[in-house]
């Protein structure tokens, strides 16, 4: 088969830091070639070089046998390379067609746009590849899946023959994901070459032909997808054997800690986000809430952490250890023994410009233990930081100097978890998407710590859109759908059904859609 | 990744303001040359008239003192991402309050008490004026830029009206001088330094205030919360930090600092309030704070620089219009902002 893209000994350095080291690989025409690796393994740098956003420090890039050097994405696009970014590059106020032709108008600056021709081309492409989307709709009105289709149509419109997809499934629901894979397959059958960047191993195995694994800036191996297992891939990525799911001994729950009774949430516009939601979380158990995002999970978390704006209508009861949490401020809820790790860590759980040590204090800075005079006792804080850093295997430099933003996603998450799990006298821990964007190796550590916290007698409420995570960790599982718990699996059911993961996943999937 | 800030980056941080100052001076020289004067001669003259004479140095110190205070008035709220444009109004209210209090006090009162009361009046007036904007912000979400600008106009109106219609001495545009006990002694009077210049003990208060603000911002829990709120307001909310309290204290403290600046002018120099007593110094405070990146200690240096330009501009006023120095001041700020942005992109 013909080689569409070949890299020969490509190296990229940023100052002293080598992001990509001596990378050589060939990507064959008409295949789906996945590049997997943990966060920070150098996947993005590699794709940015292919797409002309970075120039390689050394080495060569060949497109269909010809050596090329792209100084800008414009040149790469002209050479037939297209990229669907993880965060869509769309203008919400423009229509689908306008977005697609943006930057590729094929007309003079002050002449009228050839919208009609463009629309015809887009329609044809959409039909060929099953990318149904209304070319006249405004992008704001589209769902996430539809927006992604627009991104793909954009690539087709520019007649890209090599298409790079950067973490394309990160924002998709399971059904949208299947649909995307269908599209990718049909693109392949039309002779397009697809480069898929991801860290989700299941997806890679189901859709890719060839897989290259990156670690620490190098390609550690390229294998055929049909000849490799998930465990082997994980091992190549992390460099050691990884427990795909940590040991989870049977829990022995105690008294009820959190009790929600017919909780309701209505926005000022009258939209019902939660209705009649009832659940209990007991000490020493993990209650997993499974569900597709947008079924009331964020509203539930808002209520639990006093983040509602006060304009919503909230009904029902929310009781922690016998006392209602309504009307209590966030700082007071901490005193009631509640800890919370929000799903959007970078925005909500940390101050990225603060140092690692300062972040380990954040939200706990009111605890007397750390105080001296009007400030902090640096000695105590540093000792505390060192302890947590060792305990949670947080990889960082000097905690009192290094800003948190310099850490990888997994390590940032560990900072947040270490801080919250270590709170004195906590009885209820609320975890929202605790491993989103976290490396496989770090997931293992985090899961172990969560189970250890449970065994110490904490009541844990786990909200996650990863079914696998819910199944691995939960003692009981509640399926949330349209703002209420539609079905609850008891402890016995969970431990029994866990034996057959595939089947259990299907069953949960049935209750949440 | 043991060294998150590489050495060259650290140097770069220091170089950016220096480089922008240097290029601003070059630009200044060019403008002076365009005005048909010899830039070297002008700069030389300025240099001798400021740093070369003890009177000149005193003048620079006096200007610097006010600039530190009005700079802090902008810098403290700036840490919370609040842009206090109202330094001028807060300065005006503070000046008026200090002058009236000083004039109302009996002559027999001990000097320390009199100075304390007048300064307190100035700080209270400045703080209240700034707090108005703070309350509007937390209660009704009124943008502080708009409210502080409007409050500047209102302060001008109030002080102007009260002066001309009620408090001005007949056939003058100023109030009754403050009682002798309420004047802040100049360095010259006490120690014989800075021949005849208005530099007074407020300078020491200014340095101490800047130091205190630095300590508060970077070494207390209060500052920890405050900076966090400014950097990531959403995260602060999740962390249980009360942003309302911080908005109000930052605005209040800023206004109080402006009040101290007013005390320097009124009690240390003029001894009465007159129309135009503050002459737009409050606005220069914005520039002082921006040049220092709202850092209380760097702010001392930037206030010194502006003091130098301000008084230096006066000394060569007969040769070159003062407006030229306004150009240099403004150009410096623009250059610093552009250089900082450029530096961020390069690193």
CATH code, domain carrying B99: 1.10.3470
Contact assessment for residue B91 and residue B282, using Cβ atoms and an 8 Å cutoff? yes
Q: Are A348 and B238 inside 8 Å of each other by CB?
A: yes
Neighbours of B8 (CB within 10 A): 11
Contact at CB, A371 and B232, closer than 8 angstroms: no
Q: Judge whether B50 and B311 are in contact, CB under 8 Å.
A: yes
For residue A40, list chain B residues with Cβ-Cβ distance below 8 A.
none
Is the pLDDT at A196 greater than 90, yes or no? yes
Nearest to B200 by CA among B188, B182, B212: B188
Of the candidates A331, A350, A371, the beta carbon closest to that of B240 is on: A331
Q: What is the pLDDT of residues A427-453, one digit of tens each?
A: 999 999 888 767 777 788 889 999 999
Nearest residue of chain A to residue B223 (CA atoms): A375
pLDDT at A373 over 80: yes
Task: Evaluate whether A3-238 and A256-337+425-512 have a shared fold.
Answer: yes
Q: Is A3-238 CATH 3.40.50.200?
A: no
Is the CB of A406 less than 8 angstroms away from the CB of B228? no
Which site among B2, B3, B228 would you substitute to test the A interface, given the most A Cβ atoms closer than 10 Å to its Cβ? B228
Instruction: Output the CA–CA distances (angstroms, integers) from residue A55 to A10, A11, A17, A71, in the order listed.
Output: 10, 10, 15, 7
Report the DSSP pairing between strands A375-376 and A371-372: antiparallel
Average pLDDT over residues A468-489: 91
| CB-based contact B238 A340, cutoff 8 Å | yes
| Predicted local distance difference test score (pLDDT) of residue B198 | 93
Tell me the C-alpha distance between A487 and A134, whole Å: 36
Strand ranges in A72-127 using DSSP code E only, listed in sequence order: 81-84
Other Cβ atoms less than 10 A from the Cβ of B227: the count is: 20
Look at B234 and A406 and tell me if their CB atoms are within 8 Å. Answer: no
> Does ipTM surpass 0.85 in this model?
no
Q: How confident is the model at residue A224 (pLDDT cuts 50, 70, 90)?
A: very high
pLDDT confidence bin for B116, thresholds 50/70/90? very high
Q: What helix, strand, coil percent values describe chain A, rounded to 5?
A: 35, 25, 35
According to the model, what pLDDT value does residue B235 have? 92
Residue of B235, B245, B344, B346 for testing the chain A interface, max A β-carbons within 10 Å: B235
For position B274, what pLDDT does the model report? 92
State the average pLDDT over residues A15-44: 86
- Angle subtended at Cα A336 by Cα A334 and Cα A337, rounded to the nearest 5 degrees: 70
* Residue A55 reports pLDDT greater than 80: yes
> What confidence score (pLDDT) does residue B73 get?
97
Among B221, B227, B240, beta carbon nearest to A334: B240
Closest residue in B to A328 (Cα) is: B240
CATH of A256-337+425-512, one of 3.40.50.300, 1.10.760.10, 3.40.30.10, 3.30.365.10: 3.40.50.300
**pLDDT of B2 strictly over 50:** no
Q: Are A365 and B221 in contact (CB < 8 Å)? A: yes
* pLDDT of the residue at A505: 81
| Closest residue on chain A to B236 (Cα) | A348
What's the 3-state SS for A170-236?
CCCCHHHHHHHHHHHHHHHHCCCEEEEEECCHHHHHHHCCEEEEEECCEEEEEEEHHHCCHHHHHHH
Q: Does the predicted model carry a pTM greater than 0.90?
A: no
Q: Closest chain B residue to A305 measured between Cα atoms?
A: B238
- Is pLDDT at B249 greater than 90 in this prediction? yes
| Chain A, nearest residue to B217 by Cα | A375
Q: What's the pLDDT tens digit per position in B290-303?
A: 888 899 999 999 99
Q: Do A348 and B225 touch (CB under 8 A)?
A: no
Task: Flag if A376 and B224 touch (Cβ within 8 Å).
Answer: yes
C-alpha dihedral over A55, A60, A66, A68, to 10 degrees? 10
Nearest-angstrom CA–CA distance, A289 and A267: 22
Query: Under an 8 A CB cutoff, do B235 and A375 touch?
Result: no
| The pLDDT value given to residue A276 | 92
Please check the confidence at residue B5 and state whether its pLDDT lies above 50.
no
* Tens of pLDDT, residues B85-113: 999 999 999 999 999 999 999 989 999 99
Q: Taking CA atoms, what residue in B is nearest to A397?
A: B2
Please tell me the distance in Å from A405's CA to the nearest CA on chain B: 10
The model's pLDDT over A246-261, given as tens digits with 9 standing for 90+, comes to: 778 888 888 999 999 9
In contact, B303 and B70? CB cutoff 8 Å: no
3-state secondary structure labels for all residues of B298-345 = HHHHHHHHHHHHHHHHHHCCCCCCHHHHHHHHHHHHHHHHHHHHHHHH
What whole-number distance in Å separates Cα of residue B234 and Cα of residue B81? 13
Residue of B1, B239, B245, B293 to mutate, interface with A, max A Cβ within 10 Å:
B239
Query: How far apart are alpha carbons B72 and B74 in whole angstroms?
Result: 5
Distance CA A164, CA A168 (A): 10
Q: Are A227 and A52 in contact (CB under 8 A)?
A: no
Q: How far B239 CA lies from chain A's nearest CA (Å)?
A: 4
Cross-chain CB nearest to B237 (options A15, A307, A366): A307
Q: Select the residue of A354, A374, A401 nearest B4 (Cβ to Cβ).
A: A401
For the cut 80, the answer to whether the pLDDT of residue A364 exceeds it is: yes
pLDDT at B3: 39
Q: What are the extents of the domains in chain A?
A: 3-238, 256-337+425-512
CA dihedral A117, A120, A122, A125 (to 10 degrees): -130
pLDDT at B39 > cutoff 80: yes
Q: Contacts of residue A325 in chain B, CB cutoff 8 Å? A: none
Question: How far apart are alpha carbons B57 and A332 in whole angstroms?
Answer: 54
Does the pLDDT at position A297 exceed 80?
yes
Question: Does residue A33 surpass a pLDDT of 60?
Answer: yes
Give pLDDT, residue A104. Answer: 78
pLDDT tens digit sequence for A273-294: 899 999 999 999 999 999 877 7
User: How many of the other CB atoms lie within 10 Å of CB of B343?
Assistant: 16
The domain total for chain B is 1
From A333's Cα to the closest Cα of chain B, the distance in A is 9
Q: What 3-state class would DSSP assign to B247?
A: helix
- pLDDT range class, residue B345, cuts 50, 70, 90: low
Contact B239 A375 (CB under 8 A): no
Q: What percent of chain A has pLDDT over 70?
A: 98
Cβ neighbours of A15 (radius 10 Å): 9
pLDDT at A177 (0 to 100): 82
Distances (CA, A) of A129 to A84, A133, A209, A451, B157: 16, 11, 19, 45, 70
Contacts of A406 in chain B (CB under 8 A): 1, 4
How do residues B150-168 score in pLDDT, each as one tens digit? 999 999 999 999 999 999 9
B48 in any annotated domain: no
> With an 8 Å Cβ cutoff, are A374 and B2 in contact?
no
The answer to whether residue B136 sits within a structural domain is: yes
Q: Which residues of A touch B6 (CB under 8 A)?
A: 15
Chain A residues with CB-CB distance to B under 8 A?
15, 305, 307, 329-331, 333-334, 340, 342, 347-354, 358, 361-363, 365-366, 371, 374-376, 396-398, 401-403, 406
Q: Looking at the partner chain, which of B4, B220, B241 has a beta carbon nearest the beta carbon of A402? A: B4
Cβ <8 Å between A375 and B228 = no
CB contact under 8 A, A349 and B238: yes
Interface test with B, best of A14, A344, A374 (most B CBs within 10 A): A374
CB A122 within 8 A of CB A100: yes
* Distance (Å) from the alpha carbon of B73 to chain A's nearest alpha carbon: 22
Positive or negative, the Cα torsion across A38, A40, A46, A48?
Answer: positive
Q: Mutation target for A interface from B4, B230, B237: give the one with most A CBs within 10 A.
A: B4
* Min Cα separation B217/chain A (Å): 10
Reported as a pLDDT band with limits 50, 70 and 90, residue A476 is very high
Comparing CB atoms, the residue among B4, B6, B219 nearest residue A375 is: B219
pLDDT at B147 over 90: yes
CB pairs under 8 A between A and B: 73
Closest CA–CA distance from residue B58 to any residue of chain A (Å): 36
pLDDT tops 50 at residue A397: yes
Average pLDDT score over chain B: 89
What pLDDT does residue A133 have? Answer: 87
In a domain, B344, yes or no: no
Whether residue B28 lies inside any domain: the answer is no
Q: Which residues of A touch B232 (CB under 8 A)?
A: 347, 351-352
- In this structure, are residues A14 and A162 in contact, taking their beta carbons and an 8 Å threshold? no
**Average pLDDT over chain A, rounded to whole?**
87
Q: Do A349 and B240 touch (CB under 8 A)?
A: no
Q: What is the DSSP string of A261-322?
A: EEEEEE-TT--EEEEEEEEEEETT-EEEEE--TTSSHHHHHHHHTT---S-SEEEEEEEETT
Mutate one of A353, A363, A394 to test the B interface: name it (highest B CB count within 10 A). Answer: A363
**Residue B1 — very low, low, confident or very high, per pLDDT cuts 50/70/90?**
very low
Mean pLDDT, rounded, for A149-160: 90
**Percent share of chain A, pLDDT over 90:** 39
Give the pLDDT mean for A394-402.
Answer: 84
Kindly list the residues from chain B whose CB atom is less than 8 angstroms away from the CB atom of residue A348.
234-235, 238
Contact indicator for A428, A459 with CB cutoff of 8 Å: yes
Could you tell me which residue, A239 or A314, shows the higher pLDDT? A314
């Amino acid at each position: 088969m013909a080689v569409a893209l070949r890299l020969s000994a490509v190296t990229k350095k940023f100052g002293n830091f080598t992001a990509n080291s001596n990378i050589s690989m060939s990507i064959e025409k008409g295949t789906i070639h996945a590049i997997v690796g943990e966060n920070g393994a150098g996947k993005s740098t590699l794709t940015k070089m292919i797409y002309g956003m970075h120039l390689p420090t050394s080495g060569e890039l060949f497109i269909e046998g010809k050596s090329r050097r792209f100084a800008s994405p414009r040149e790469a696009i002209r050479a037939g390379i297209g990229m669907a970014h993880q965060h869509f590059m769309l203008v919400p106020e423009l229509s689908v067609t306008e977005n697609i032709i943006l930057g590729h108008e094929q007309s003079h600056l002050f002449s009228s746009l050839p919208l009609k021709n463009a629309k015809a081309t887009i329609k044809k492409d959409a039909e060929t590849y099953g990318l149904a989307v209304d070319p006249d709709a405004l992008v704001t009105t589209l769902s996430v899946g539809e927006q992604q289709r627009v991104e793909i149509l954009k690539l087709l419109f520019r007649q890209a023959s090599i298409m790079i997809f950067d973490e394309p499934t990160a924002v998709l629901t399971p059904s949208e994901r299947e649909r995307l894979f269908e599209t990718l397959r049909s693109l392949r059958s039309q002779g397009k070459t697809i480069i898929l960047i991801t860290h989700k191993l299941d997806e890679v195995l189901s859709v890719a032909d060839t897989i290259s694994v990156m670690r620490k800036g190098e390609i550690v191996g390229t294998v055929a997808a049909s000849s490799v297992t998930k465990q082997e891939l994980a091992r190549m990525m992390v460099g050691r054997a990884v427990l795909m799911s940590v040991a989870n001994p049977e829990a022995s729950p105690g008294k009820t800690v959190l009790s929600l009774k017919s909780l309701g949430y209505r926005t000022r516009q009258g939209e019902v986000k939660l209705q009649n939601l009832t659940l209990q979380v007991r000490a020493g158990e993990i209650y997993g809430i499974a569900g597709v995002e947008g079924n009331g999970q964020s509203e539930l978390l808002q209520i639990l952490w006093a983040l509602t704006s006060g304009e919503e209508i909230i009904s029902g009861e929310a009781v922690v250890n016998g006392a209602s949490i309504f009307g209590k401020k966030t700082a007071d809820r901490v005193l009631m023994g509640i800890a919370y790790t929000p799903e959007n860590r970078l925005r909500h759980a940390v101050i990225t410009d603060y140092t690692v040590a300062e972040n380990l204090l954040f939200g706990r800075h009111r605890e007397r233990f750390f105080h001296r005079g009007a400030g902090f006792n640096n000695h105590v804080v540093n000792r505390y930081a060192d302890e947590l850093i060792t305990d949670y295997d947080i990889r960082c430099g000097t905690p009192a100097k290094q800003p948190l933003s310099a850490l990888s996603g997994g390590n940032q998450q560990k900072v947040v978890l270490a801080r919250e799990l270590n709170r004195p006298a906590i009885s209820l821990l609320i975890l929202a998407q605790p491993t989103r964007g976290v490396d496989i190796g770090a997931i293992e550590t985090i899961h172990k710590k969560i189970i250890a916290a449970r065994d110490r007698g904490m009541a844990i409420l786990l909200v996650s859109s990863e079914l696998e995570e819910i199944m691995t960790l939960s003692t009981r599982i509640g399926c949330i759908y349209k703002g209420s718990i539609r079905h609850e699996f008891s402890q016995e059911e969970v431990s029994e059904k866990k034996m057959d993961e595939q089947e259990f996943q299907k069953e949960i999937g049935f209750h949440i859609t | 990744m043991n060294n998150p800030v590489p050495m060259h980056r650290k140097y770069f941080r220091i170089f950016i303001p220096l480089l922008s100052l240097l290029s601003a001076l070059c630009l200044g020289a060019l403008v002076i040359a365009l005005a048909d004067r010899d830039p070297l001669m002008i700069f030389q003259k300025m240099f001798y008239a400021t740093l070369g004479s003890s009177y000149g140095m005193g003048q620079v110190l006096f200007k610097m003192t006010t600039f530190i205070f009005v700079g802090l008035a902008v810098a403290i709220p700036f840490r919370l991402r609040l842009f206090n444009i109202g330094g001028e109004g807060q300065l005006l209210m503070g000046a008026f309050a200090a002058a009236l209090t000083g004039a109302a006090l009996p002559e027999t009162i001990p000097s320390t008490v009199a100075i304390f009361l007048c300064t307190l009046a100035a700080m209270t007036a400045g703080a209240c004026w700034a707090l108005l904007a703070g309350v509007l912000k937390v209660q009704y979400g009124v943008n502080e830029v708009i409210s502080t600008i409007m409050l500047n106009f209102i302060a001008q109106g109030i002080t102007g009206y009260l002066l001309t219609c009620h408090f001005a001495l007949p056939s003058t545009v100023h109030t009754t001088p403050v009682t002798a006990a309420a004047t802040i002694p100049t360095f010259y009077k006490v120690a014989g330094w800075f021949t005849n210049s208005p530099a007074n003990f407020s300078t020491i208060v200014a340095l101490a205030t800047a130091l205190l603000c630095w300590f508060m911002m970077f070494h207390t829990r209060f500052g920890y919360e405050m900076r966090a709120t400014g950097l990531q307001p959403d995260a602060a909310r999740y962390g249980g930090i009360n942003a309302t309290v911080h908005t109000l204290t930052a605005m209040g403290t800023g206004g109080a600092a402006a009040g101290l600046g007013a005390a320097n002018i009124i009690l240390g120099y003029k001894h009465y309030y007159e129309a135009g007593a503050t002459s737009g110094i409050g606005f220069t405070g914005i520039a002082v704070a921006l040049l220092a990146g709202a850092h209380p200690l760097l702010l001392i240096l930037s206030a010194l620089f502006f003091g130098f330009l301000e008084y230096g501009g006066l000394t060569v006023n007969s040769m070159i219009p003062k407006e030229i120095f306004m150009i240099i001041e403004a150009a410096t700020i623009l250059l610093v902002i552009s250089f900082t942005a450029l530096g961020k992109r390069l690193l």
